[in-house]
Amino acid sequence: MGSDNRTELEFFNEIGLGSNNVGGYINGQWKATGSSITSTNPSNNKAIAEVTEATLQDYEEGLQASSEAAKIWMSVPAPKRGEIVRQIGEALRAKLDPLGRLVSLEMGKILPEGIGEVQEIIDMCDYAVGLSRQLNGSIIPSERPDHMMFEVWNPLGIVGVITAFNFPCAVLGWNACIALVGGNCVVWKGAPTTPLITIAVTKLVAEVLERNKLPGAIFTSFCGGADIGEAIAKDTRIPLVSFTGSSKVGRLVQQSVNERFGKCLLELSGNNALIVMDDADIKLVVRAVFFAAVGTAGQRCTTCRRLFLHESVYTDVLDQLVGLYKQVKIGDPLEKGTLVGPLHTRSSVENFEKGISGGKILTGGSVLESEGNFVQPTIVEISADAPVVKEELFGPVLYVMKFQTLDEAIALNNSVPQGLSSSIFTKRPETIFKWIGPRGSDCGIVNVNIPTNGAEIGGAFGGEKATGGGREAGSDSWKQYMRRSTCTINYGSELPLAQGINFG
């Protein structure tokens, strides 16, 4: 447990875990009848605890109960639903430190980031509480006399949420907080490699529902593999499926959901670029690139993977970056001062080794000899045409390239299949407004003088192209979790038709 003085048993007791855990919360009960899996610490590849996974039979029982609970939950006034989400936020706040430590232990990100991830759910709860009183429709002028036209937003019923290992609980918060205040039940399948986080977060939600004498099936969760995910994608009882993961799997999820005329919210691959113009503040650039490329050991979908440097600042920026990279402390994510923890799995290490080929390694490039999945943050000088540059890589590998003009840099930014996050560093207004305009970045997140990662919850999060097109968290993302009805009321005694049609 690194610098934590508590024993593992004391730590687990604090968040409701044990050496053997049930990986299904179904109809208000902990139940799972599948096989047992081992949760592994990526820092040493040793077992943390055992978890019993849910089966398809468990899934069916959970969905039947959730369908019944949806009838009750959608009838609760939205501000009252907001009060329940407020209590969930308070429950998470009370366990902020131990939950953050669990994220670091099981996922591998450093402790400040683990705690920050849990804080992100808390922030989403706070946001959703206010939103519960603002699910407003529009009043629309009618062209017909004595008619009123407006929009009504109603719950979908059930929202399915499938999350990934790199943000094993924050992405749940982006979806669940909004879905719940919108009047939907939530069915969550956490990542197969982070089951303890799924269980620990669910326990807190379950306690709030029980304390308020609400059906436990308002929130259902499963630890399981691809079979549970496939069941969610194909289930006609789930109108909206939110999936976070690779573009390859996301395409399959979308096909399954589309076949049944469901809705998909996809948060898929990122391959994010940061452009440094000749007038950029270099000190700001170096700090931003360092965090964006090295943070979470490069395992964020918003990680900076491609760095485009104007030829006039190329050497200066690289010299400073290489110097910082050589000072990085790599090690136990729970130890104070560690900046880079392990990659999540051994296969991630193999992908890292593939990803550093095809260019000139300027610093890093090694897999560290240890029991864990540790690698050196790496900078690779490479051609923009190299195949690896077009692919997402979940690891601390930064591809650096040179450019001469703004148009060239924008074209390079837009040249990959993914379209999540992008950033430019400049002081010129004309450059800024071209970058954020129709001839600029084609990404869903377009930043200026800040890194590609570290998105705030108040804005809609998501990307274009192979990133999937979904939007989560703030702005008007809530509309995806609800059903819009255009309602027209005739309060007069005549029946005028739209467009002036005279029928008969």
Rg (CA), the chain: 24
Handedness of CA 239, 56, 16, 114 (dihedral sign): negative
What is the distance between the alpha carbons of residues 224 and 55, in angstroms, rounded to a whole number?
A: 7
- The 3-state DSSP class for residue 26 equals strand
53 close to 23: Cβ distance less than 8 angstroms: yes
- CB atoms closer than 10 angstroms to residue 502: 6
DSSP assignment of 261-313 equals T-EEEEE----EEEEE-TTS-HHHHHHHHHHHHHGGGG-STT-EEEEEEETTT
Q: Is 106 annotated as catalytic?
A: no
350 close to 397: Cβ distance less than 8 angstroms: no
Give the tokens for residue 151: 């929009």
Give the tokens for residue 260: 């049944």
333 close to 110: Cβ distance less than 8 angstroms: yes
- The β-bridge relationship of strands 421-425 and 445-448 is parallel
223 close to 190: Cβ distance less than 8 angstroms: yes
- The β-bridge relationship of strands 418-419 and 445-448 is unpaired
DSSP assignment of 413-456 equals HTTSSEESEEEEE---HHHHHHHTSTTS--SSEEEESS-S----
Task: Pick the catalytic residue from 113, 267, 392, 472.
Answer: 267
Catalytic residues: 267
